[in-house]
Amino acid sequence: MSVEPALLAKETAAPAPKPGRTGRLGRDSGIIFGAAVLLLMTLIGICAPLLGTKNPSDINPAFRNRVPGIEQTIRNDDGSTTTFKYRMGTDSLGRDIYSRVVYGARVSLLIGIAVAVISIAIGLFIGLIAGYLRWVDAIVMRLMDGLMAIPAILLAIALVSLFRAGLVSVIIAIIIPEIPRVVRLVRSIVLSVREEPYVEAAIMAGTRTPLLLVRHILPNTIPALIVQGTFICANAILIEAILSFLGIGIPPETPTWGNIMAEGRGLFRIYPHNIFFPGICLALTVLAVNVLGDGLRDRLDPKLARRM
Amino acid sequence: MAGYILRRLAATVPVMLIVALFVFLMLRLTPGDPAAIIAGDNANAEQIALIRNRLGLDEPIITQFFIWLMNILRGDFGESFFFKKTVAELIASRIEPTLALSIATITIAVCIAVPLGVLAAYKQGTIIDKIVMGFSVLGFSVPVFVIGYSLIYLFAIKLNWVPVQGYQRIGDGFGGFLQRLILPSVTLAVIYIALIARMTRTSVLDVMGEDYIRTARAKGQVEYKVLFRHALKNAAVPIVTVIGLGVALLIGGVVVTESVFTIPGLGRLTVDAVLARDYPTIQAVILLFSLVYVLINLLIDIAYTLFDPRIRY
Amino acid sequence: MQMTASAKPVLDVQGLTVRLPGGADRINAVENVSFAVSPGEIVCVVGESGSGKSVTAHAIMGLLPPRQLTVAGGRVLLEGDDILAKSRAAMRKIRGARIGMIFQEPMTALNPVMKVGDQIAEVLDIHTALNERERRQRVLDVMGSVHLPEPERMIDVYPHQLSGGQRQRIMIAAALVLDPALLIADEPTTALDVTTQAQILKLIKELRERRNTGVLFITHDFGVVAEVAHRVVVMQHGRVVEQGTTEDVLRRPRDEYTRMLIRSVPSLSPPARKPLENSVAVLQTKALNKTYTTGGLFTARHDVRAARDVNLIVCRGETLGVVGESGSGKSTVARCIARLIEPSDGAILIEGADVAKLSSRKLRPHRKRVQIVFQDPYRSLNPRRSVGAAITEGPVNFGMTEGAAHERARELMRLVGLDADALTRFPHQFSGGQRQRICIARALAMEPELLVADEPVSALDVSVQAQVLALIDDVRKRFNLAVLFITHDLRVAAQVCDRIAVMHRGEVVEEGPTATVFGAPAHAYTRALLDSAPGRDFDFGRFDAE
């Protein structure tokens, strides 16, 4: 059997990296950019109180709907004055948008990461079993098909309507539509790995099924799941924003980028800063995570592009 | 081939049953008396009793499911106490705008995205490819309503080319209808284009790596004919698949877009129904949208037979 | 075999050098390669994997992947014209018209959504100005000349409706429809069954004779070389190490590498074997059946009987070969015996115990007694686990301590000829032949009674094959194993097996001692199989003047 065609194929599959630092940087630029922005946003969220913000729920009726840049002089108890600059303006209740956006990073990112981790964990578990045990497969795939038939946002909306509005219910409502896709991905990997001779050799060595799944089959799913996880994170942040925008997301006491925009939609024509500042932050973060996911996929397994 | 079509058709039945089951259980899972929830806050005991009777709420749950299912299949989706109409009437009155928006969006999206994706694949690695892929990631990442508001700001407020929001029925004048439809369909199309252009590019690149492409070149075929005669027909199946799967995204986007542009369609109806906790309407809308999605994918499965003779024979 | 040596060569390769991208194991894929093909002559370029023979063929066609492999020097003269110097557009006009090329995998080389007739007609469409009726006639003519049945009907058929041999004929038809001066064939029969291969080789010889085409035939199989070649070019690591007429190279090789290669080719004549005495049957199958049923709700139910009433016996200390083409059921039988799949019917007795229908729990203690060595060494080891972990997995599963299992693993590594300290390394750090040795060690770690070898050397180069086969033989003697050897390669079977069972379409059509089956085959199919073996009249390894 000739390896010549394989030689040719190998050469055409991945373009040889250009020698030197720029070549390597060029290939991983997506990962670097995405990870950097994500890290930045996370830091901003964590360090929110230290970044010149005030309490995001502070209602200040005197300063409603101010344009960005306006300043307010506050008289303190001891007679001194402090000036506070509303860098991004205020919303219809006089709250500082800059503070809300910075604190909003916390919730939006928390939702993104929580949804990604939990849906991957659940999907992996179900997918492994469904891929390996045929009778489980038949039932599970029917269920997954049914769930996937309902467009994701509709499903999330419906689930949110079932529970009282809150962080946990929103997270659950976003997780459930993501699970079927993860299950499908894991299952397809399991089905193909199952046929590999080394798995059959392990069967012949007497390895029991649970150990077989964990030791030989599961590691093959990790690269795909890492990539899928980043895309789920990006999607979750988007969906939370949409839910909040429609008024069925997280209540406005806890600022998220989505509900800041929701509040501002009524007066959009005159005060667009309500929507633009959180919108840009949201778009940038989601973009960064998507680019990170792309970069990871190109690095870990280019064949994934077809599976997803 | 007839067997193939029948099998695909038969496969949709269990899927819709599961959707129906979920939708049915939805109401039963909320705390509280389903009849009281449906009746709404302002109902009196008589109305609640009426609903309870109609839905057979005292029967065992399996019977309830069947009663409900039979009603649905007869077209009886119940009554919306919030909107004071039967749900069926409600849906009928709101369907035109959504249909118009969806068709316009799909048309724009497919006509732009597929050629764009093919171009990016053909010129892989060049600046054109990078630009197309860059725009596609962007389109994916910016939320629909931000795009919507940005477009409104630019074209409706600053440039004043089109009206800001609203919908005009075809019957009331085609010009106005079109004017009001452009911005929302372009907004929604952006995401769809991003998705389809990407998958098209990936599929075409995959296909261009296959052995029969090498054979075509070995015959001395010119490169653009290799692309059109050999690659595209083989890439058609995955591309068309993605268009079908993308309809789910589309439906989700419709909900948001109708909110942004205040279009009185099914999307807005859904949001209003959720805010009012009007369960009969929510159930009906989910069923309807899911059915549409499933049917579109069924049509696409059947369309495969046009492209791939291995399915036909 | 006629030779028209005096005519001007159709193809004259002079000092061809093709550079590899940086980071590969050598600088050039192909270096300073020179040879010529005359009209009506078949020149075989033979070599192992990595020798550069396929790269050479692609370079001549101008089909090298543009950003990876670049021509760095030399000339390629096609009927006097230097084609390396030509522009891309000019080269396109030559491809298909003056050079035809056929490839290894006929299924993937044809466009699955295009009718086969159209794919042949495409060549005419590109290079001629014939109208549709004329094109159709030419296509029908060429389909007839490659002996395709019912061209009128077949012209509208799709590739997936044809067999492998028929698809390759379509490829040949498309390559030859414009009567090119040169035909390049890149391993065209490697993916085909032995009987189909024989037909295609015959076809190529016939067409070459009729049209006086020069043929450049790439292969790794010396049997094929003996069968069709007028002249031979031997390549190693990108260089030509020897070339000459077939007689000269095969009987009087001068280069050491060539001698080693030719010696490694197993002979079709089985060596004399001592019959076994008092031996115990380790494996016995009785009426083993495996039927696959397809079809469901809306399609017709379709039964495929992969194995029919198969009765086999393997005794301790002997090697039973199961020989057959693809679809013969030999792999199915092996997998049933190993209980990787469950047979539909019949008994599988391992030292008397019937394992055919046991549940997985009851089967577990029996697992130790049958072990498999698989075909593909690149997929037989988990790439993420060390080689030591792979070998110790089995014994540890059955209660051995890690330490003891590790000791046994070291012993076995030494036994198979590898360094015991290499246990900590990972599969990708070993070559194909070494990986196969590791798989043998892994199988032996379980101390089995029966070793099933499923095409264990088919994916290996011929020089490595001989070593692995010797190892299997050694192991069998040392541990007094019973070996079930599955193969499609008659030469390997002749050399390695004591007894042979020939399978065809799920049934065992003939069985007996190797010498008898090869020397005096009783069944028509066995005879056809033996007649198809390429180069069967050639006795490899017997060099003149040695």
Q: Give per-residue pLDDT as tens, C453-464.
A: 999 999 999 889
Nearest to A33 by CA among A234, A291, A229, A297: A291
Least confident window among A79-93, A147-161, C342-356, C400-414: A79-93
Interface contact flag, C21 A11, Cβ < 8 Å: yes
Residue B232, min C-alpha distance to chain C (Å): 10
Among B27, B98, B124, B145, most A C-beta atoms within 10 A, so best to mutate, is: B145
Alpha-carbon gap, residue B215 to B209, rounded angstroms: 11
Between A and C, how many residue pairs show a Cβ–Cβ distance under 8 A? 102
Instruction: Choose the closest CB to C382 out of A4, A8, A198.
Output: A198
User: Per-residue DSSP letters for C79-101?
Assistant: TTEEGGGS-HHHHHHHBTTTEEE
Alpha-carbon gap, residue C1 to A34, rounded angstroms: 67
CB C440 within 8 A of CB C475: yes
- On chain C, the residues whose CB falls within 8 A of the CB of A208 are 397
Instruction: Choose the closest CB to C376 out of A197, A215, A216.
Output: A197
> Which structure tokens are listed for A259?
């509900």
Structural element, H or E, at residue C59: helix C53-61
pLDDT (tens digit per residue) in B149-185: 888 888 887 788 777 777 777 777 777 788 888 889 9
CA dihedral B113, B115, B117, B120 (to 10 degrees): -140
- On chain B, the residues whose CB falls within 8 A of the CB of C128 are none
Q: Does any CB of chain A come closer than 8 Å to the CB of residue C176?
A: no
Mean pLDDT, residues A84-91 = 77
Close Cβ partners of A57 (under 8 Å, ≥ 6 residues apart): A95, A253, A255
> Which structure tokens are listed for C294?
């397809």
> Which structure tokens are listed for C145?
């000349």
- On chain B, the residues whose CB falls within 8 A of the CB of A247 are 271, 275
CB count, 10 Å around CB of C453?
28
Least confident window among A142-156, A163-177, C284-298, C379-393: C284-298
CB B28 within 8 A of CB B34: yes
Instruction: Give CA separation, C364 vs A164, C340, C370, in Å.
Output: 52, 12, 11
pLDDT (tens digit per residue) in C52-109: 999 999 999 999 988 788 898 899 999 988 999 899 899 999 999 999 999 999 889 9
Q: Does any CB of chain A come closer than 8 Å to the CB of residue C296?
A: no
> Which structure tokens are listed for A56?
């995001």
Interface contact flag, B7 C95, Cβ < 8 Å: no
Interface contact flag, B289 A160, Cβ < 8 Å: no
Interface contact flag, C442 A201, Cβ < 8 Å: yes
> Which structure tokens are listed for C356?
């055919």
List the helix and strand counts (H, then E) for chain C: 20, 20
Ranges in chain B, pLDDT < 70: 31, 40-42, 55-56, 313
pLDDT given at position C297: 63
Interface contact flag, C52 A11, Cβ < 8 Å: no
Neighbouring-strand partners of residue B284: none
CB C47 within 8 A of CB C58: no
> Residue A215 has what DSSP assignment?
I
- On chain B, the residues whose CB falls within 8 A of the CB of A248 are 271, 274-275
Nearest to C424 by CA among C382, C390, C378, C380: C390
pLDDT given at position B304: 87
Chain C residue closest to B231 (CA)?
A: C111
User: Per-residue DSSP letters for chain B?
Assistant: -HHHHHHHHHHHHHHHHHHHHHHHHHHHHSSS-HHHHHH-TT--HHHHHHHHHHHTTTS-HHHHHHHHHHHHHHT---EETTTTEEHHHHHHHHHHHHHHHHHHHHHHHHHHHHHHHHHHHHTTTSHHHHHHHHHHHHHHHS-HHHHHHHHIIIIIIIS--S-SS----GGG-HHHHHHHHHHHHHHHHHHHHHHHHHHHHHHHHHHHTSHHHHHHHHTT--HHHIIIIIIHHHHHHHHHHHHHHHHHHHHHHHHHHHHHTT--SHHHHHHHHHHTT-HHHHHHHHHHHHHHHHHHHHHHHHHHHHH-HHHH-
Interface contact flag, B22 A146, Cβ < 8 Å: yes
- On chain B, the residues whose CB falls within 8 A of the CB of C113 are 233-234, 307-309
Alpha-carbon gap, residue B300 to B293, rounded angstroms: 11
CB count, 10 Å around CB of A84?
17
Instruction: Give φ, ψ of C8 to 5 degrees.
Output: -65, 140
* Strands, E assignment, C38-164: 42-47, 70-78, 81-82, 99-102
> Which structure tokens are listed for B184?
């929302």
Residue A197, min C-alpha distance to chain B (Å): 25
Mean pLDDT, residues C297-310 = 82
Instruction: Give CA separation, C82 vs A124, C5, C13, C78, in Å.
Output: 58, 21, 9, 6
pLDDT given at position A25: 55
Which B-chain residues 202-241 have CB contacts (< 8 A) with chain C?
Answer: 210-212, 214-222, 229-230, 233-234
Q: Which chains lie within 8 Å of chain A at 3 or more CB pairs, if any?
A: B, C
Nearest to A139 by CA among A95, A183, A98: A183
Residue C111's pLDDT band, with cuts at 50, 70 and 90, is very high
pLDDT at A88 over 80: no
* Strands, E assignment, C435-506: 450-454, 482-487, 499-504
Interface contact flag, A204 C367, Cβ < 8 Å: yes
CA dihedral B280, B281, B287, B291 (to 10 degrees): 150
Close Cβ partners of B259 (under 8 Å, ≥ 6 residues apart): A245, A246, B145, B267, B268, B271
Instruction: Choose the closest CB to A279 out of B146, B202, B290.
Output: B146
Q: Which chains lie within 8 Å of chain C at 3 or more CB pairs, if any?
A: A, B
Alpha-carbon gap, residue C483 to C487, rounded angstroms: 12
- On chain B, the residues whose CB falls within 8 A of the CB of C124 are none
Residue type, C491: R
Residue C58, min C-alpha distance to chain B (Å): 10
- On chain A, the residues whose CB falls within 8 A of the CB of C52 are 4
Q: Does any CB of chain C come closer than 8 Å to the CB of residue A196?
A: yes
pLDDT at C27 over 50: yes
pLDDT given at position A26: 62
pLDDT (tens digit per residue) in C496-545: 999 999 999 999 999 999 999 999 999 999 999 999 999 888 878 777 75
Q: Does any CB of chain C come closer than 8 Å to the CB of residue A1?
A: yes
- On chain B, the residues whose CB falls within 8 A of the CB of C97 are 220
> Residue A96 has what DSSP assignment?
B
Alpha-carbon gap, residue A120 to A142, rounded angstroms: 19
pLDDT given at position C401: 93
Instruction: Choose the closest CB to A158 out of B138, B144, B286.
Output: B286
- On chain B, the residues whose CB falls within 8 A of the CB of C94 are 220
Residue A279, min C-alpha distance to chain B (Å): 6
Mean pLDDT, residues A176-185 = 94
Interface contact flag, A162 B21, Cβ < 8 Å: no
Instruction: Choose the closest CB to B217 out of C63, C93, C296.
Output: C63
- The interface predicted TM-score (ipTM) is 0.88
> Which structure tokens are listed for B204?
């075409």
Mean pLDDT, residues C407-430 = 93
CB count, 10 Å around CB of A61?
8
Instruction: Give φ, ψ of C81 to 5 degrees.
Output: -90, 135
pLDDT at A19 over 60: no
Chain C residues contacting B, CB < 8 Å? 61, 63, 92-97, 100-101, 103, 105, 108-114, 122-123, 126-127, 158, 160-161, 171, 174-175, 296-299
Interface contact flag, C374 A5, Cβ < 8 Å: no
pLDDT given at position A2: 32
Residue A304's pLDDT band, with cuts at 50, 70 and 90, is low
**Which alpha helices (H) appear in chain A, and where do they start and end?**
4-13, 21-46, 97-132, 134-149, 152-162, 167-194, 197-204, 209-212, 218-245, 257-264, 273-300, 304-307
Among C382, C412, C449, most A C-beta atoms within 10 A, so best to mutate, is: C382
Report how far Cα B55 is from the mean position of its chain's Cα atoms: 30
Residue B249, min C-alpha distance to chain A (Å): 7
> Residue A62 has what DSSP assignment?
G
Close Cβ partners of C142 (under 8 Å, ≥ 6 residues apart): C120, C173, C176, C177
Instruction: Choose the closest CB to B290 out of A150, A279, A283.
Output: A150
Nearest to A282 by CA among A229, A235, A237, A225: A237
Interface contact flag, A202 C22, Cβ < 8 Å: no
> Which structure tokens are listed for C151?
């061209």
Alpha-carbon gap, residue C468 to C385, rounded angstroms: 23
Instruction: Choose the closest CB to A196 out of C22, C379, C442.
Output: C379
Least confident window among A73-77, A200-204, C399-403: A73-77
Nearest to C501 by CA among C489, C524, C517, C519: C517
**Is the model more confident about C265 or about B2?**
C265
Residue C364, min C-alpha distance to chain A (Å): 6
pLDDT at A288 over 80: yes
Between A and B, how many residue pairs show a Cβ–Cβ distance under 8 A? 142
Among A1, A132, A193, A220, most C C-beta atoms within 10 A, so best to mutate, is: A1
pLDDT (tens digit per residue) in C174-226: 999 999 999 999 999 998 989 999 999 999 999 999 999 999 999 999 999 99
Mean pLDDT, residues C271-296 = 84
Per the document, the length of chain B is 313
Half-sphere exposure for C101 (CA within 13 Å, toward CB): 28
pLDDT given at position A6: 38
Instruction: Choose the closest CB to A154 out of B203, B238, B289.
Output: B289
Interface contact flag, A146 B271, Cβ < 8 Å: no
Report how far Cα A289 is from the mean position of its chain's Cα atoms: 7
Q: What is the mean pLDDT of chain C?
A: 91
> Which structure tokens are listed for C49?
């994997």
